[in-house]
């Protein structure tokens, strides 16, 4: 909690009892890690670990953990352990344990004992009721340990006795076949039981009562935050590992290594050759690449920003600075928030119905730009508005006191002060739209694996015509590719369409990686900008 | 933002009269030159818009006039021009929402009309889309039932919410109340980056890793399950829930929390009995927005599902995944035309309306909460 300083005024004897509870928490953590390892098949459940098979090990550890939890609870009840329990474990825990034991009782009765609907229903009700009573009625130290610990013991015994062994399969018997097998069920059940027992022993570590609940809850909340970060890290690391070989395939440095380039009329050879980002896909290429998609993405982003930023910032200026708060600003706010949450595929449909027939009657880069611009617009409005609202009114008053007009105040005071927030918002928004597939799928998608000659050249594409609208740019009105679309089409493409690509799997992962790099670098820049400006503001 | 007040007829009339009076004052006060410039710009922009709507090749001419007029206005009467320009951009924002509504409804109408069903002699357009379960755009009888896709969307959304809501709220609590400053500075960008990973990358990983794994684990015939699409979509909706819920928790006044802590409660007691109840509506708005994200998520569902519309058997069999509303559109737009394309627009209308209502609902809830907590906004 912000502003609160922790201090332990009373440090009671932290010797034996707390050590036991802490080691139970540690054991639960080990079990959780083991079950994850088994779930993701780093270890097979039949593999021997320390002389015993994984299933037996998990079962034995569960029994030990459960016994420790129960023993701690009973010891506390009998007064061997100094704790501050409440009279009851509370309604939330009671309902949770009742539901849990209802399911366990029902499953055991129907699957293991083979009872009919009435039989398993009755058994489930009885076990659920007993669990409710065992949680709600006794003192908290019994109520929160006994149901959790005995569940761990029961599961452990089931594993040890081989009722759920490595060859166990539960066919659900549905019309479309599906079944649970041991490789999935054992790790998942173990993970769940270890979480439960870990929570109970964390409570015990805190000595039950208010402090115990605090510790128990914090363990779960920290675990949750940790796993979110772990998932993020895994996703990114996995993509990077899989994508790197394809991405740097044939990378070469040295003078004259790269392709010939003409820039502003000067022809020179680049000192670096990076085939994956410098080539398209062609039959004669040694190494194929995604150059057209990269260029397409860049132009898409530029187009969307050029369209959306003036509109969005203008709208934010109007509703923040000019309009009186009232019905009109409310409508605008509801509309922008509604636009912001509109699914991207709906923007795609809108582009297909509204833009495509009006822009050359075919899928085109311009239609894609505008569709993404529509998506970016609400984000620009929302973030710009927030940034402008954060500018203190004193600034405006001081400016107005100098006798300048409203617009001069906006232009020379409000906008510069709000600029960091606006820029950050735009960068983050660009990161979002650069990775969008659905809208461009419907409005600008081109061929599956475009050759390098299909790279769009928007600047060189402008030409003047005699008929209205007098300026024409065929490059803008052509279908082209972009990174997210390229990845999608590579995933769904048939064999024939991508036969030019030798190692399709490597190519896909490299495309995914480069998309991830492009999008995440926008995010990194956005987050860093915000961080920088915040630090700067704090130091002022 | 407050809730729209109910105006009665008389109130409305006074409001209109006041607006008219303001308009007249505005015309009186402004220089005629500026007024003409602004008028020319507005009319030409309107003409350009109409031209664009009518697919006219002459659209560029009024647009050029608009550019010239605003350019002149910017040099001579910047104050007024800026005001009018920003007003125009504001209106265009609302206009885009309106255009989306009009255009996808118009495109959806043929199929709605085709699926008219007569109940007690009253023809109800579109009813057959929702009471039959057959999606068959090629083999007769040709039917465009959206029930299988709605079923898929509902299943995926339920699973995704079950993943995103508890984890998201817990993470928001962590970020706003529990985490030490340094940890927060690390976790918060992490959550944001999780939002930044493109959906097609999620879909690709799901398609190459999760789907084969799930088929193997659950002995499923073929690939594609609602269960894992739901999990992946839940992961994608998580950042939305976290950031909105965190804002809600942060908006609970510090004095309330300190008051509770001063009574000697633990941090966790303060959270469960003060902070969470006070921020409850904001947190539920966050969950609603997360649900909206999950409903609209397209690419992960498209590449991970089977793309063969139909109900799973039994209905709660989440181990088989056929199609959601979004994946139907993304997978079929290419070879669809006529009524089938129009049916895809019907799916789009359903998505749009559902998510719009969720968005408005969550805004309403947030506004109520801000009022209750006595905030200024």
pLDDT of residue B8: 56
- The domain boundary residue, chosen from A228, A251, A275: A228
For residue B120, pLDDT over 90 is answered with no
Q: In this complex, do A512 and B58 lie within 8 Å of one another by their Cβ atoms?
A: no
Which of A214, A231, A236 has the CB atom closest to B235's CB atom?
A: A231
Tell me, yes or no, if B50 comes closer than 8 A to chain A by beta carbon.
no
pLDDT grade, residue A283 (50/70/90)? low
Domain around A322: 290-452+472-539
- C-alpha gyration radius of chain A: 32
- Fold that domain B146-372 belongs to in CATH: MetI-like fold (1.10.3720)
| Contact residues, chain B, for A217 at CB < 8 Å | 268
Task: Give CA–CA dist B333/B352, Å, rounded.
Answer: 17
Ranked by mean pLDDT, which of A493-502, B117-126, B224-233 comes out on top? B224-233
Q: What is the percent of chain B where pLDDT is above 70? A: 96
The verdict on residue A416 lying in a domain is: yes
A308 lies in the same domain as A200: no
Contact by Cβ (8 Å): B93, A318: no
A198 lies in the same domain as A310: no
Say which DSSP state A128 is in.
H
The region of weakest confidence among A57-71, A370-384, A464-478, B170-184 is A464-478
What are the tens digits of pLDDT across the range B240-294?
899 889 888 888 888 888 888 898 888 888 888 888 888 888 898 899 989 998 9
A173 lies in the same domain as A316: no
- The domain boundary residue, chosen from A175, A201, A228: A228
Contact by Cβ (8 Å): A96, A145: no
What are the tens digits of pLDDT across the range A365-408?
888 899 999 999 999 999 998 889 888 888 888 988 998 888 88
- Interface subset of A 477-516, CB within 8 angstroms of B: 484, 487-488, 491-492, 508, 512, 515-516
The verdict on residue A272 lying in a domain is: no
The verdict on residue A145 lying in a domain is: yes
pLDDT of residue B217: 82
A72 lies in the same domain as A146: yes
Contact by Cβ (8 Å): A413, A399: yes
Size of interface A-B (CB pairs under 8 A): 323
pLDDT of residue A9: 45
pLDDT grade, residue B376 (50/70/90)? very low
pLDDT of residue A7: 46
Tell me, yes or no, if A471 comes closer than 8 A to chain B by beta carbon.
yes
ipTM of the complex: 0.88
| Contact residues, chain B, for A336 at CB < 8 Å | 93
- The domain boundary residue, chosen from A185, A202, A228: A228
Q: Determine the average pLDDT of the residues in B182-196.
A: 84
What are the tens digits of pLDDT across the range B31-46?
777 788 888 888 888 8
Contact by Cβ (8 Å): A289, A277: yes
Cα distance from B116 to chain A (closest Cα, Å)?
23
For residue A540, pLDDT over 60 is answered with no
For residue B377, pLDDT over 60 is answered with no
For residue A131, pLDDT over 60 is answered with yes
Q: Determine the average pLDDT of the residues in A495-499.
A: 55
| Contact residues, chain A, for B217 at CB < 8 Å | 181, 183-184
A312: CATH: 1.10.3720.10
The verdict on residue A170 lying in a domain is: yes
Q: Where are the domains of chain B?
A: 9-97, 146-372
Task: Give CA–CA dist B155/B153, Å, rounded.
Answer: 6
pLDDT of residue A481: 80
Q: Where would I find the H helices in chain B?
A: 9-29, 32-53, 60-76, 78-114, 128-131, 147-173, 181-196, 199-205, 211-217, 226-250, 254-262, 267-270, 276-278, 280-296, 299-304, 325-332, 338-372
Closest by Cα among B327, B332, B348 to B207: B327
Task: Give CA–CA dist A514/A484, Å, rounded.
Answer: 10
pLDDT of residue A266: 67
Higher-confidence position of B57 and B7: B57
Cα distance from A268 to chain B (closest Cα, Å)?
36
What does the CA dihedral A434, A437, A439, A443 come to, rounded to 10 degrees? 100
pLDDT of residue B375: 52
The verdict on residue A420 lying in a domain is: yes
pLDDT of residue A461: 66
For residue B20, pLDDT over 50 is answered with yes
A213 lies in the same domain as A311: no
What are the tens digits of pLDDT across the range A176-231?
778 888 888 888 889 999 998 999 888 888 888 888 888 888 889 999 988 888 88
Contact by Cβ (8 Å): A106, A60: no
Cα distance from B103 to chain A (closest Cα, Å)?
6
Number of domains in chain A: 2
pLDDT of residue B349: 93
Q: Determine the average pLDDT of the residues in A333-353.
A: 90
Q: In this complex, do A224 and B170 lie within 8 Å of one another by their Cβ atoms?
A: yes
Phi, psi values for residue A391, rounded to 5°: -75, 125
The verdict on residue A243 lying in a domain is: no
Higher-confidence position of A3 and B354: B354
């Amino acid at each position: 909690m912000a502003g609160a300083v922790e201090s332990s005024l009373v440090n009671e004897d932290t010797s034996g009892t707390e050590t036991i509870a802490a080691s139970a928490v540690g054991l639960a953590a080990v079990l959780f890690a083991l079950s994850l390892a088994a779930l993701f098949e780093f270890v097979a459940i039949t593999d021997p670990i320390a002389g015993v098979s994984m299933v037996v090990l998990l079962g034995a550890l569960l029994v030990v953990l459960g016994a420790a939890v129960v023993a701690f609870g009973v010891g506390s009840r009998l007064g061997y352990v100094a704790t501050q329990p409440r009279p009851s474990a509370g309604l939330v825990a009671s309902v949770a344990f009742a539901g849990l034991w209802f399911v366990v009782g029902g499953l055991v009765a129907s699957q293991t004992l083979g009872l009919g609907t009435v039989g398993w229903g009755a058994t489930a009700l009885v076990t659920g009721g007993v669990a409710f009573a065992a949680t709600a009625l006794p003192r908290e130290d019994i109520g929160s340990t006994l149901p959790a610990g005995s569940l761990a013991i029961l599961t452990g015994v089931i594993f040890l006795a081989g009722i759920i062994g490595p060859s166990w399969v539960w066919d659900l018997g549905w019309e479309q076949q599906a079944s649970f097998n041991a490789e999935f069920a054992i790790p998942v059940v173990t993970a769940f039981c270890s979480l439960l027992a870990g929570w109970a022993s964390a409570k015990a570590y805190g000595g039950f009562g208010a402090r115990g609940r605090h510790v128990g809850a914090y363990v779960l909340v920290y675990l949750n935050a940790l796993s979110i970060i772990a998932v993020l890290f895994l996703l990114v690391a996995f993509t990077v590992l899989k994508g790197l070989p394809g991405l740097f395939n044939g990378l070469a440095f040295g003078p004259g290594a790269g392709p010939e380039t003409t820039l502003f009329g000067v022809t020179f050879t680049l000192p670096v050759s990076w085939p994956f980002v410098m080539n398209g896909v062609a039959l004669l290429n040694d190494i194929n690449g995604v150059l057209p998609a990269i260029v397409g993405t860049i132009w898409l982003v530029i187009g969307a920003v050029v369209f959306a930023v003036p509109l969005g910032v203008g709208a934010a200026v109007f509703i923040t600075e000019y309009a009186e708060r009232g019905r009109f600003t409310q409508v605008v706010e509801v509309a922008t928030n509604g636009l912001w949450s509109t699914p991207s595929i709906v923007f795609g449909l809108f582009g297909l119905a509204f833009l495509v027939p009006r822009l050359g009657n075919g899928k085109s880069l311009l239609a894609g730009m505008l569709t993404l611009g529509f998506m970016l617009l609400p984000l620009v409005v929302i973030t710009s508005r927030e940034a402008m609202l954060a500018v203190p009114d004193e600034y405006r008053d001081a400016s107005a006191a100098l006798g300048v007009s409203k617009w001069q105040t906006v232009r020379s005071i409000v906008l510069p002060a709000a600029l960091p927030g606006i820029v950050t918002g735009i960068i983050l928004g660009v990161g979002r739209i650069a990775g969008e597939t659905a809208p461009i799928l419907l409005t600008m998608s081109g061929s599956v694996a475009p050759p390098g000659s299909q790279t769009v050249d928007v600047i060189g594409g402008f030409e003047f015509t005699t008929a209205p609208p007098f300026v024409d740019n065929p490059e803008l009105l052509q279908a082209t590719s972009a990174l997210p679309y390229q990845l999608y089409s590579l995933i769904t493409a048939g064999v024939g369409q991508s036969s030019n690509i030798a190692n399709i799997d490597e190519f896909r992962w490299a495309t995914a990686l480069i998309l991830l790099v492009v999008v995440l670098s926008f995010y990194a820049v956005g987050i860093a900008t915000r961080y920088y400006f915040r630090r700067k503001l704090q130091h002022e | 933002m407050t809730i729209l007040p109910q105006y009665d007829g008389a109130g409305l009339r006074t409001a209109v009269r006041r607006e008219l009076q303001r308009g007249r004052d505005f015309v009186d006060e402004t220089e005629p030159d500026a007024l003409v410039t602004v008028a020319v710009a507005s009319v030409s922009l309107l003409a350009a818009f109409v031209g664009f709507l009518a697919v006219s090749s002459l659209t560029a001419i009024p647009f050029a006039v608009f550019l010239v007029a605003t350019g002149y206005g910017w040099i001579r009467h910047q104050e007024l021009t800026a005001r009018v320009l920003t007003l125009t951009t504001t209106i265009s924002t609302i206009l885009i929402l309106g255009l989306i509504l009009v255009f996808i409804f118009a495109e959806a109408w043929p199929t709605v009309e085709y699926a008219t069903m007569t109940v007690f002699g009253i023809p109800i357009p579109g009813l057959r889309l929702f009471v039959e379960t057959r999606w068959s755009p090629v083999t007769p009888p040709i039917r465009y039932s959206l029930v299988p896709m709605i079923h898929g969307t509902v299943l995926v959304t339920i699973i995704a919410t079950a993943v995103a809501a508890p984890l998201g709220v817990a993470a928001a609590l962590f970020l706003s109340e529990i985490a030490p400053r340094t940890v927060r500075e690390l976790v918060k960008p992490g959550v944001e980056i999780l939002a930044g990973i493109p959906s097609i990358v999620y879909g690709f990983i799901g398609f190459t890793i999760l789907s084969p794994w799930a088929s193997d684990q659950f002995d499923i015939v073929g690939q594609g399950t609602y269960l894992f699409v739901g999990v992946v979509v839940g992961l994608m909706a998580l950042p939305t829930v976290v950031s909105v819920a965190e804002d809600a928790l942060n908006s609970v006044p510090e004095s309330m929390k300190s008051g509770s802590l001063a009574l000697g409660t633990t941090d966790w007691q303060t959270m469960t009995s003060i902070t969470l109840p006070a921020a409850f509506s904001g947190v539920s708005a966050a969950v609603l927005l997360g649900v909206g994200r999950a409903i609209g998520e397209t690419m992960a569902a498209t590449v991970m599902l089977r793309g063969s519309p139909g109900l799973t058997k039994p209905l709660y069999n989440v181990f088989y995944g056929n199609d959601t509303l979004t994946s139907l559109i993304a997978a079929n737009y290419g070879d669809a035309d006529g009524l089938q394309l129009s049916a895809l627009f019907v799916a789009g209308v359903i998505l749009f309306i559902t998510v719009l209502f969720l968005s408005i609902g969550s805004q309403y809830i947030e506004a109520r909460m801000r009022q209750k907590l006595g905030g200024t906004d």
